[in-house]
Structure 1
Amino acid sequence: MNNLDSYDPSGVGQVNGNLFGLPFDYDSARTIVFGVPWEVTVSYNPGTAAAPQQILDASPQLDLYDFDNPQGWQGGIYMPPIDLDILAKNNYYRQQAALIIDRLEQGKSLDLEPDLNPVLAEINQAGKDINQWLYDRTQAAMKAGKKVGVIGGDHSVPLGYMQALADRYPDYGILHVDAHSDLRDAYEGFEFSHASIMFNALKISQISKLVQVGIRDVSKVEIDTIERSNGRAIAYYDSLLKQQMYSGKTWLSICQEAIAHLPQQVYISFDADGLDPKLCPSTGTPVPGGLELEQAFCLCREVIRSGREIIGFDVCEVGNAEWDGNVGARIVYKLINLMNLQNAK
């Protein structure tokens, strides 16, 4: 597939089944991006399981010149075919999870007739299986010398990749862009809930720091978790960020302060609902407020400008709509180009 001699990066984007229409395959690409169509535990708007396909479909519309890494595409990007077996399992378990969510929202016990506890156990096992699936594939890609990105699905998706990174890096941090802290313990009974991804991440001892930016829809128990973490988790709440900016503090200085908390190796976990909802209105749990796209890019750019290394990323909670896919594709492309800047220098 790799035929760079005849490829025109300024030409019409090719619809060839690969991200951004690029002429690379698994072997020739430096960066592998796994799409994981999984949103079993989504508790508000469904549709994020379609995000990998929406982002793939929108991606050839992007121009490839990136101001941070103008030749970044030449390193090669490849997205393996979306696993339709995972999508089928998602659709099945999503229906089962909806029964549990509906029961809980009515204030009723799962022990009522019919008993839904076996269903909950089955869903939790399916979550473990997805984690293992992603762990195996990201581990294999890294062993082959690849950089790796992940597209969800809901925000439960990247845990297996985080676990694979922990086998490679004895100390790394997470830069987390989100409207939510995602620090709930087994939200709604789901061990691998989208609202529990950072709670589960903090079980990984190699993750020494979690820096969250844009948080604006948060529970008391999550705030307590942050305050009891002895500085391991640090939150930049959206309302307080805005108040600082209204008082004259620059966004760049806020970004530099946030990044200064992180260790040398940094993983970026980017939830689309961290942005202003006008940018991804079909996200699973939209919240008013949030970041502009260039604000988020400025934050991620400061990881590199500070001398740190981006070791991986995920982009999750992009909605099932063409506009959301377009924005999601731009986030994926920017994070790939920033991640590969170390190789470009």
Structure 2
Amino acid sequence: MSLKHQIIEKFDPNGISTYENLFGLPFDESTADLIIIPVPWEVTVSYSPGTAQGPEAIMNASLQVDLFQDDIKDAWKMGVYMLPIPEEIKEKSDNFRILAANYINWLSQGSPKEDLERFGAVPGLVNKASEEMNAWVYEQAKKYRAQGKLVALLGGDHSTPLGLIKALAEEHDNFGILQIDAHADLRMAYENFEFSHASIAYNALKLPQISKLVQVGIRDYCEAEAIMAKENNRITTFYDKDIKKEGYEGKAWKIICDEIVDQLPQEVYVTIDIDGFDPKLCPNTGTPVAGGFELEQIMYLMKEVVKSGRKLIGFDLVEVAPGAEGDEWDGNVGARVLYRMANLYGASQGRLNLK
């Protein structure tokens, strides 16, 4: 009997876990099939901070998540393990966040020339730090993929998955990205930061392996992003207002989901910005926007993607931010999104069975 099977035999998924790992599971990086890379990074956030605490908030709340999934038998047995939260990444994020915040404030004041010498070099410094973060994520992803592990990422802000996407692009010649988000994130070097949280979709599209970007729930975007989404034949956007209009007029969510899935190629990477959901589910996220989805709407869509026979090659969950001390709501919701996505990812890879 393998070590993993010995661990499974001894663990009671219905009892109180004594393990302090993600979801209270008994696995480690050697016995888990899925490795979660936590990235506590939020250097370029342009509104409210806090997403760097997302991995810790989700970790803490995950211990309250029940492991049973009625449509995926023994889902927990696949094994999910989150790597230790990297303190050096968090420390660098804190330091460069101060620098970036002061720079953004200078921009908002009209970039006074008398302070140009003080702030002129900031974008270059922040871009270098962000590039190093992306490289770290890339190396982590490559390391665990080389071991045959499934890999997902937990942010941090929406700039954090680029390294993972680049690593997967080296394995897959043609794949799509399914983006759940309130924002288009198609800005080029927003606020002069090349790796801005508002530029993740723009940066991902630089990879020729990405044949399609399907955006769902977009409701806060600039004119340049709207033009790009319309004119770039690799982008299909399902705007929140259009989804709502069709629903009000009687179109079933099932049919809308079928239309979304039809736009996707066979292999799909999923990026979920928590602000794609209704803000009541993520009130402390950095840039909440009225509108959005219920949790079960998106989980239904994700199940439909898997049921269609498409293969998930990776995913991320970003922009979860805890509230005041003692407020676990955002982490609670994030933990449930993470667990369900982990199981659907495993099912699409043939490591779990989905009804």
TM-score range, shorter chain: over 0.9
* DSSP 3-state at the match of 1:63: coil
| Cα displacement (A) at 1:189 | 0.5
How has the CA–CA distance of structure 1 residues 198 and 109 changed in structure 2, closer, same or farther, with 3 Å as cutoff?
A: farther
Matched with 2:244 is 242
Alignment root-mean-square deviation, CA = 1.3
Q: Distance in 2 between matches of 1:109 and 1:262?
A: 46
1:92 aligned partner: 95
Question: In 2, are the aligned partners of 1:15 and 1:60 still within 8 Å (CA)?
Answer: no
* Pair 319,140 (structure 1): closer, same or farther in 2 beyond 3 Å: same
Alignment partner of 1:335 is 2:337: no
- Corresponding position of 1:216: 219
* % identity of equivalent residues: 49
Maintained 8 Å contact 2:343/2:352: no
What is the rounded CA distance, in whole Å, between the counterparts of 2:110 and 2:14 in structure 1?
Answer: 57
- How many angstroms does 1:344 deviate by? 2.1
Report the 3-state secondary structure (helix = DSSP H, G, I; strand = E; otherwise coil) of the residue aligned with 2:280: coil
The residue that corresponds to 1:257 in the other structure is: 259
**Hey, what's the Cα distance between the residues in 1 that align with 2:113 and 2:210?**
34
Q: Residue type of the partner of 1:224?
A: I
The aligned counterpart of 2:268 is: 266
Whole-angstrom distance in 1 between the partners of 2:270 and 2:14 = 29
State whether structure 2 residue 135 is matched by structure 1 residue 132. Answer: yes
- The counterpart of 1:36, out of the listed 33, 36, 39, is 39
TM-superposed CA distance for 1:110, in Å, is 7.1
Aligned partner of 1:4 in structure 2 is 8
2:318 maps to which of 312, 316, 319: 316
Alpha-carbon contact 2:45-2:157 (below 8 Å) kept: yes
CA distance in 1, matches of 2:329, 2:230: 37
Deviation at 1:6, TM superposition (A): 2.1
1:102 aligned to which of 97, 105, 115: 105
Residue in 1 aligned with 2:298? Answer: 296
Question: What is the Cα deviation at residue 107 of structure 1?
Answer: 1.8
Provide the residue aligned with 1:278 in structure 2.
280
Which residue is 1:27 aligned to? 30
Once the 2 structures are TM-superposed, how far is the Cα of residue 302 of structure 1 from its aligned partner?
1.1
User: How far off its partner does 1:60 sit?
Assistant: 1.0
- State the shift of 1:111 in Å: 7.3
Alignment of 1:12-91 (within 5 A): 12-16=16-20, 18-91=21-94
CA contact (8 A) 2:152 2:316 kept: yes
Is 1:161 the counterpart of 2:169 in the alignment? Answer: no
Distance 2:46 2:322 in 1: 15
User: What is the identity, as a one-letter code, of the residue corresponding to 1:291?
Assistant: F
**Which residue does 1:171 correspond to in 2?**
174
Task: Give structure 2 stretches of 5+ with no counterpart.
Answer: none
SS of match in other structure, 1:213? strand
Structure 1 residues not aligned, in runs of 5+? none
User: Equivalent residue of 2:36, what SS?
Assistant: strand
Aligned residue type for 1:167: E
Instruction: State the SS of the aligned residue for 2:135.
Output: helix
Q: Distance in 2 between matches of 1:343 and 1:4?
A: 15
CA shift, 1:209, in A, is: 0.3
* Bigger shift: residues 67-76 or 264-273: 67-76
Tell me by how many angstroms 1:120 deviates.
1.5
Q: Distance in 2 between matches of 1:109 and 1:256?
A: 51
Q: For the residues of structure 2 that align with 1:38 and 1:169, how far apart are their CA atoms?
A: 27
d(CA) in 1 for partners of 2:114, 2:168 = 38
Q: What is the CA-CA distance between 1:70 and the residue it aligns to? A: 2.9
2: CA distance, partners of 1:112 / 1:78: 47
Q: Verify the 8 A CA contact 2:19 2:26 in the aligned structure 1.
A: no
Q: Distance in 2 between matches of 1:120 and 1:109?
A: 16
Distance in 2 between residues matched to 1:65 and 1:14, nearest whole Å: 18
- SS in structure 2 opposite 1:278? helix
Q: 3-state DSSP class of the match of 2:121?
A: helix
Instruction: Name the count of aligned residue pairs.
Output: 343
SS of residue matched to 2:279: coil
TM-score normalized with structure 1 length: 0.97
Distance (whole Å) between structure 2 residues aligned to residue 109 and residue 267 of structure 1 = 42
Find the residue that maps to 1:112 and give its secondary structure: helix
Question: SS where residue 154 of structure 2 aligns?
Answer: strand
* Aligned counterparts of 1:139 and 1:110: Cα–Cα separation in 2: 44
